[in-house]
Amino acid sequence: MKPDCLILRFGEMMLKGKNRKKFEHSVMIQIRMVFSSFPDVRYIPEFGRVYVVLGDTDYVLAAKALERVFGLASWSPAYHADMELAAIQRAALGIMEALPKRPATFKVTARRVNKQFPHDSQEINHLVGGYVLQAMPGLQVDVRSPEVELRVEIREDRVLLYCDVIEGIGGFPSGTSGKALLMLSGGIDSPVAGWMAMRKGLTLEAIHFHSYPYTSERAKEKVISLAHQLAGYTDVLKLHLVSFTDVQTSIHQAYKDDLLVTLIRRAMYRIAERIAEREGLGALVTGESLGQVASQTLPSLHAIGQVVSLPLLQPLMMMDKQEIIGVAEKIGTFPISILPYEDCCSLFLPPSPSTNPNLRLVEKLEESMEFLQALIDKAVLETETIEIVHGQLKQESIAHLF
């Protein structure tokens, strides 16, 4: 017995008052996007929810597609029945008999919107529950804590029955919170930070720094694969690829001691902000987690963050590594992130990077690097951009980037 309908419920957007319609419109665009390969589906919107009639669409594939819809609080696989008691009773029994494991207890919860239906909610509970009890010996009713709650909704023009309420990924619909630039490395953290930013309604572009030939072509391919995975949640993601070799090697030639990481990160932030402002993006998103490495202590975060004026959004700041890995596994970036191709952040590391950088000393060192501003300007100017569409790469070839 396969569901012929999905009931999708919206989440936090319902708190948005006069902006609710705008948010619902955005989430509908996303729902239509993830179901675009299913031509048979039909949409019936109602206040706070939408019914997706599946037609000949494969339920399993449709359910999988919902994992890419931000703003979805929960959803239920549901079954239609004719607008008459006998049909509802037969459908209820079919659902109960088709459960993977036969429950010991259940209850029926009816909701009658169509007041023309001849039985009220309490009567439906008794009439449907009694029918199921009679056909399934040993099954008992538990109104307080049933193993299965069979819900019956008598709508104006349809009857729906369902048991499961499955949690959606929540958040806000894509693009309802503005635009930001994700600093995307090849590691585990930054893709998760990007996903969490998108979940809160941000439209993201991404920036990646490479230091070819010190970093390999495969390291860059790995980042492009991560961008593809993230694009699966918004359909399109623009990726800016910065050749960082001259900036990084020049700083390293001028200074090799414990503040090197701080100097490198400040240069990256400066370039990222320039790209963000050029593209009209309102914030930088990074994957820092407090205390995880030397550049993510409180003094280091302060010294590095001083160079930009755009808001810095750091969704992972208070998360443990295992929590971050859990999200990475859930969104499908973890198997890509652990591929053994290191990015430029791991190059030229001093034996003991400072965890408490002196900001005045850092600024003094930068003042002595007369080459720095020109190299940052050059890196911004020569940044290459590719547009990644879920499932394909719009640009004919990326070979010239390597």
Q: What local confidence, expressed as pLDDT, does residue 213 receive?
A: 87
Residue 156: pLDDT over 50: yes
What pLDDT score does 395 carry?
A: 47
String of DSSP letters for 73-126: EEEEEEEEE-SSHHHHHHHHHHHHHTSSS--SEEEEEEEE--TTSSS-HHHHHH
- Does 271 have pLDDT greater than 90? yes
Tokens of 298: 């409180």
* 295/288 Cα distance (integer angstroms): 9
Mean pLDDT of 7-26: 77
pLDDT at 154: 96
Sign of the alpha-carbon dihedral angle for 289, 290, 292, 294: positive
* 184 is an annotated ligand-binding site residue: yes
- The whole-number pLDDT of residue 391 equals 67
Q: Tell whether 168 is in a known binding site.
A: no
Per-residue pLDDT reduced to its tens digit, 212-268 = 888 888 888 999 999 999 998 888 899 999 999 999 999 999 999 999 999 999 999
Provide the terminal-to-terminal Cα distance of the chain, rounded to the nearest Å: 52
More confident residue, 80 or 1: 80
Q: Is 210 annotated as a binding residue?
A: no
Q: Which two tokens stand for residue 296?
A: 């993510």
- Is 209 annotated in a binding site? The answer is yes
* Amino acid found at 218: R
Q: Is the pLDDT of residue 269 over 60?
A: yes
Instruction: Check residue 401 and give its pLDDT.
Output: 46
> pLDDT tens for residues 99-125?
999 999 999 999 999 999 999 999 999
pLDDT of 344 above 60: yes
Of the chain, the percentage scoring pLDDT greater than 70 comes to: 95
> What per-residue confidence (pLDDT) applies to 143?
94
pLDDT digits (tens, 9 = 90+) for 291-325: 988 889 999 999 999 999 999 999 999 999 999 99
Q: What is the mean pLDDT of residues 31-45?
A: 92
Q: What is the mean pLDDT of the chain?
A: 92
Is 136 marked as binding a ligand? no
Q: Give the confidence band of 346 by pLDDT, cuts at 50, 70, 90.
A: confident
Whether 31 and 43 have beta carbons less than 8 Å apart is answered as yes
Check whether 199 is labelled as a binding-site residue: no
**Is a pLDDT exceeding 70 seen at residue 15?**
no
Q: Is 183 annotated as a binding residue?
A: yes
The predicted pLDDT at position 13 comes to 60
Indicate if the pLDDT at residue 397 is higher than 60.
Answer: no
